[in-house]
Structure 1
Amino acid sequence: MTEIKDSKICVVIGASHSGVNFAFALRREGWEGNIILYDADPLLPYHRPPLSKTYLTSDDDIDKNLLKSAESYEKEGITLKLGIKVSAIKREKKQVVLNDGTQHSYDKLVLATGARPIIPPIPGLMSSNNIFPLRTAADVTNIRTCLAASDNKRVIVIGGGFIGLETAASLKKIGASVTVLEREDRVLARVTAPEMSAFFQNLHAENGVAIFSNKNVIAIDTNTKENVVKCDDGTSYIADIIIVGVGILVNTELAASAGLIIENGIKVDETAKTLDDDIFAIGDCTFHYNPHYRRFVRLESVQNAVDQAKVAAAAMCGKETRYDSIPWFWSNQYDVKLQMVGLSNGYDQLILRREADKEKCFSAWYFRGDRLLAVDAVNNAKAYVYGTKFIKIGNKINKEKLADPAVEFKPIHLLANK
């Protein structure tokens, strides 16, 4: 077990991917003081990506998805304070205030407060039967329990983003009848090109999930047996269970009340530090500068949470470091693995490369002029790996060769002037 040799205290608010990874990284970087993690969730910190995928479709307990074992925290001298909410930060006194009014001092403070699901103000939604978001292990447990007890298993998923589609695929796998209602004119409209949206819409149709776009839910009527989901175009849909997946709200309230800069999240510098030298912020809640895209961004991804955690830990221990990562994401739906690297915002040309004689294996390459911004790879790890390299190095790509499946898919064959 790690010996605490220093009286300094680092308090971390939030024990999900960013908070937990930060705590262990801080210890590795040489912090010899106390490390205390607070989180409102009473469960040992767990992986969140499987919630809408394997955890939803299995009978496993959340203990199979823990970020670290209980023994790991004890070994590293990291104190977990679970089921406890921090209600305020007193910067001038360097204290955090808990919900019961008790106050605890810190030398360094890390905000890993993450986000919470949006519950839209739809009339009748909160009084309907069996309505669930999908953000925590408790949400998934409730969905699994409700589904097991339902005779008809008719599920309406409100929202066609990644969470909505992954949840739809998982529920279909375990026998539910699933319909997805998307307010925009296509699914995944915020994050990918129309061609990719069409692919995933067709994928779900092939697997028996109905997806309807341009569906703005305006009311939900509930009786003793079922819910009636009503849209503004006059259509309605019957549901035994309703899953809400329309996005998230960033948890910035603590930071805002403490006088930190809020701009699409908690604004931090290249070391994940806020305007207060003793307060850092990491993960989904941050608005940080990405040098590859030369602008501030806010990312909802495990990759960003882990990378920022490492940077903040090193910086807190006085080491030279800065955030310099290319964002990447992934999604599993049915027999499809989507790997995404980069940020496609602002692209002016999309090139699709379909691999010959390979079903459901292609990639979408997003360009602005000659600059590669991002790659979406469907069942194509090679495209994901090459795209990552091209974005990092900034190579100019021969677009005609890229689009031609007859050209061998190797970097030396795809570069311009080769």
Structure 2
Amino acid sequence: MNKANRFLIIGAGQAASQLALSLRKEGWQGDITMLAVEATSLYQKPFLSKSYLTGEKSSDAIRIKPLTAYQKKGIEIIDNAHVRKLDRHKKQIELSNEQQLDYEKLAICSGATPRQLAIPGSDKQNIFYLNTLTDANLLKQFIAQHRPQSAVVVGGGFIGLEAASSLTKLGLNVTLLEHEERVLNRVCSKSVGKYLSEIQKENGVKILTHSKATEFTGGKKVEGVVTAAGLKVDCDLVLIGIGVQPNTHIAEQAELKVDNGIATDNNGLTNDPCIYAAGDCASQFSTDIGQYMRIESVQNAISTAKRIAAHACNQPEPKSELPWFWSDQFDTKLQIAGLASNYTHTIERVESNKLSLWYFSHEKLVATECINHPSAFIFAKQAIVKGLRLEQEKLQNSEYALADTVIKQSEKEIV
């Protein structure tokens, strides 16, 4: 391998892993080095709040790939690697242990960090965040050793709802505090949010909306949470899930463009021709909303990594992939296809215990939210990618099969 031709990747998550493997596939002949902040890296984060927390999956089961897969491709992984400085002119990074690494190309895949809830009592024990394997292990160990009876989850986004589901499965009485009018207010439709709220309540989770946490009470250990309305909810532990902030400090220090994340073009390239960014730390300009946006999803991390690898190796750009997301809560699965950022109206389709919401920009389908309906999710992805027109009156009527809602076009139809 040629050290002068090193592709250096800051990070060891989904984007970093895919990029390293894709670089070899696209023909990168030089060294590939991944810098992992954690001692244990290359795992799938979405499982931390779901089946890993409940014990249904082990740490080995949530690995992205076995370590041998990287070794066979000659990919180096340096654990506990904290980047202190990026020198774009020398094309060199410096680690906290003063080790210096040169690069020909660099990708920042540093992910995101949970937003901290800085209120009185936030330094008490038994207050958890859930972002890394270490976070999940600390929470699991606490539950196993102390057998807590009750928990408060602060935040009604995906992490909060998934954690509430998992903690309930582990036998805790869970109260979820959401400061807005409903859960998932910024990421899902009102009907989907209501549906998932009912699922949570049916399984014993108490959801309090319009409830902003203002103080943690207790001695050294948290004993309760006080809301802005003066309500006190007693608990043995608190889990906070109020969103994340992109890790952009290295980019800022190196004076790369940052706008709601490290700003990149469609190929993941920053304003430095030798530096890319991908995953939760990166943003791309959206013509639909007229600003840079971040897409926090496994699919987006993988898709961007593939484009970076192709661009770096002067290979044809791979086909763009439709963004998609998923969430498991109790026995309910939510799947989202596309981005509902620019739409004119929605259509709701109800089939027994299946619910789907279809977002249209006039006649064009742009996104779909599906609950317990994987076939609708697959259908919607194909329809959006192929640009198929759907007969909206039939779509709203569950007596019609989804395939029968397609308006006949030239040669391609969904089967």
Residue 158 of structure 1 aligns with which residue? 154
Secondary structure in 2 matching 1:190: coil
Look up the match of 1:399.
Answer: 392
Q: How far apart in 2 are the matches of 1:290 and 1:390? A: 21
CA distance in 2, matches of 1:156, 1:122: 15
* Aligned positions, number: 410
Which residue matches 1:45?
A: 42
1:298 pairs with 2:294 = yes
CA drift at 1:289? 4.2
Indicate which of 404, 407, 410 corresponds to 1:415.
407
Q: Is the 8 A contact 1:398 1:416 kept in 2?
A: no
Shift of 1:224: 5.8
Q: Deviations over 1:262-300 (max 9, x none)?
A: 111111111111111111111111112468988743100
1:364 aligns with one of 357, 366, 369: 357
Name structure 2 gaps, 5 residues minimum: none
CA contact (8 A) 1:177 1:209 kept: yes
Could you give the per-residue CA deviations for residues 2-58 of structure 1, whole angstroms, max 9, x where no partner exists? xx3674111100000000110011011111111111011111311111111110011
TM-score (norm 1): 0.93
Q: Is 1:100 aligned to residue 131 of structure 2? A: no
Match of residue 182 from structure 2: 186
Residue number in structure 2 paired with 1:308: 304
Residue 65 of structure 1 aligns to a residue whose secondary structure is: coil
Give the Cα separation in 1 of the matches to 2:243 and 2:313: 35
Per-residue CA deviation, residues 93-148 of structure 1 (Å, 9 max, x unaligned), is 0000111223211111011011011112111112x221110001111111111112
Q: What does 1:77-226 align with in structure 2 at a 5 Å threshold? A: 77-126=74-123, 128-223=124-219, 226=222
Structure 1 CA distance, aligned partners of 2:63 and 2:148? Answer: 33
Does 2:379 match 1:382? no
Flag the 1:293–1:382 CA change in 2: closer, same or farther, 3 A. farther
On the 8 A contact 1:116/1:249 being kept in 2, the answer is yes
Whole-angstrom CA distance in 2 between matches of 1:226 and 1:291:
45
- Paired amino acid for 1:344: A
1:266 paired with 2:258, answer no
| Further displaced range: 202-211 or 100-109 | 100-109
Q: Distance in 1 between matches of 2:369 and 2:64?
A: 27
1:319 and 2:318 equivalent? no
Q: Secondary structure at the match of 1:374?
A: strand
Deviation at 1:73, TM superposition (A): 1.9
Question: Is the Cα contact below 8 Å between 2:284 and 2:292 reproduced in 1?
Answer: yes
1:138-191 Cα distance to aligned partner (Å, 9 max, x none)? 111111111123344211000000010011101111111111101111000011
C-alpha separation in 2, matches of 1:151 and 1:171? 12
Deviation at 1:231, TM superposition (A): 0.5
| Residue 274 (structure 2) aligned to one of 260, 273, 278 | 278
CA contact (8 A) 2:338 2:366 kept: yes
Structure 1 vs Structure 2: percent identity of aligned residues?
A: 34
Q: Residue 7 of structure 2 is aligned with which of 6, 10, 16?
A: 10
Distance 2:4 2:92 in 1: 15
* Equivalent in the alignment of 2:235: 239
- Which one of the candidate residues 235, 253, 272 is aligned to 1:257? 253
8 A Cα contact 2:83 2:93, kept in partner: yes
Distance 1:42 1:6, change over 3 A: closer
Structure-2 residue corresponding to 1:25: 22
The alignment partner of 1:63 has SS state of: coil
Matching residue's letter, 1:183: H
Deviation at 1:61, TM superposition (A): 4.2
Of 182-191 and 315-324, more deviation after overlay is shown by 315-324
CA distance in 2, matches of 1:259, 1:226: 41
- Structure 1 residues without counterparts, runs of 5 or longer: none
| Deviating more after overlay: 21-30 vs 39-48 | 39-48
Greater shift, 375-384 or 65-74, is seen at 65-74
- The corresponding residue for 2:59 is 62
CA distance in 1, matches of 2:118, 2:288: 38
Query: After alignment, is 289-298 or 371-380 more displaced?
Result: 289-298
CA contact (8 A) 1:112 1:285 kept: yes
The answer to whether the Cα contact below 8 Å between 1:307 and 1:323 also exists between their aligned partners in 2 is no
Letter in 2 for 1:41: E
Q: Given residue 195 of structure 1, which amino acid in structure 2 is its aligned partner?
A: S
How far apart in 1 are the matches of 2:221 and 2:340?
44
Check whether the contact 1:47–1:67 (CA below 8 A) recurs between aligned residues: yes
What is the SS of the residue equivalent to 1:62?
coil
